[in-house]
Amino acid sequence: MKKLLLFASLLALLSCKSTPEGKTLNLTEEVRTDASYLIVLSMDGFRWDYPMLYDTPNLDSIAEIGVKSASLEPCFPSKTFPNHYSMATGLHPENHGIVMNSFKDPVIGRYKLSDREAVQNPDFYLGEPIWVTAEKQQMRSACYYWPGSEAPIQGYYPSIWKKYDGSVSYEARIDSVIDWLQLPEQERPHLIMWYFDEPDHVGHNYGPEHEITKQTIERLDSLVGVFCRKINSLPNKDSINLVFTSDHGMGPIDAGRAIELDQLLKEEWVERVEAGNPVVMIQPNKGFEDEVFQVLDKVEYMRVYTKETMPEAFHYTESERILDLVCVADSAWSLYWNAESYATGGTHGYDPVNRDMHAIFYATGPAFKKDMEHDSFKNIHLYSLFAKILGLDPAETDGHLKEVETMLN
């Protein structure tokens, strides 16, 4: 695996400019139409226990007719883009390259979510997402805002994909997915991955246990019900598998539990910082490594790791995009670099051992058993699960089908 990823990294370094050209299956090519369908919806920041806290009758019904896991464990850091891409590739962030929502590659340059050119630059994305696996094996795929799907990774786009536009309503996204499932058979995608940006925003703004968060969760559940009813009206409903999941959970924070690291370190000690509360990566200037570490090591309510002391469970050392020091706040604490103000409400990014970081996993359809509660599992196993359902030969990953295959018929 590491040799394969090293080779992919070298290829990326040799082609540092964005290459927008990519291929999809054209209408004249022979495509696979024999497989069942897999529709995967991610609702950003949907914590594992929201269905216990709030009224979610549609997800509850799916648990009765399909599979529900106790929780879905994210990779470290439990952030949006790293984990959506882990779900798609079966790789830890150190291996697929999206190590934070914002980072700098030493050769390619800066990656951040608001930079359209960076998001569409395939050189940032290592590994093989499941839609690329499908397209390589003559199966049409579609992505509606799934992180990573806007770049021609390994030269492939999904057969259908869209540039992110948060103003498009969830109802419109539902209608698009239903329309795709009614396309002529040669044009119809068998893999669809799509995305809602809530309840992440309300979780950040108000915290996981707030009336507005409750209202958002219950609205999302009602949309799940609308979508399922529309699926059940399709003539091919009996061959459609549905997965409802998320990238991470949400933990409560307040302004009284905040650490600002730039107040503790001298400016000349630090070369570069990548910050995303509650994780801050720091690259010390040469000659000041010991001073920086010694100061950070004494800070309460956070941990500082070198690449030598990084917990093995984090899988967060094998990338040049990861800086020499990684600081992680304790649960419920915030960690900033030069903050203008301290956030209240909620955040994510903590050690995945924190149960608040865990997400949901619900699934139903012909591939899945009925009324089964599965143990918690790591999201790196999803790629193998998806490939199995679709009958695809999988790429090499960090995940294992054996961890999830008991939920399958």
Q: Which of 19, 28, 56, 80 is catalytic?
A: 80
- Which residue, 172, 174, 183, is CA-closest to 226? 174
Whether 24 is catalytic is no
Phi, psi at residue 91, to the nearest 5°?
-115, 150
Residue 403, both tokens: 């961890």
What's the Cα-to-Cα distance from 141 to each of 119, 127, 151, 312, rounded to whole Å? 19, 17, 14, 35
Residue 84, both tokens: 């959506």
Question: Which parts of 288-404 fold into alpha helices (H)?
Answer: 289-297, 382-390
355, exposed or middle or buried, with CB in 10 Å at 0-12, 13-18, 19+? Answer: middle
List residues bridging with 372 in a β-sheet: 67
Query: What does the alpha-carbon distance between residue 37 and residue 141 come to, in Å, rounded to a whole number?
Result: 10
Check residue 339 and report its DSSP letter.
Answer: -
Query: What does the alpha-carbon distance between residue 352 and residue 84 come to, in Å, rounded to a whole number?
Result: 15
- Which residue, 14, 3, 103, 10, is CA-closest to 316? 103
List residues with catalytic annotation.
Answer: 80
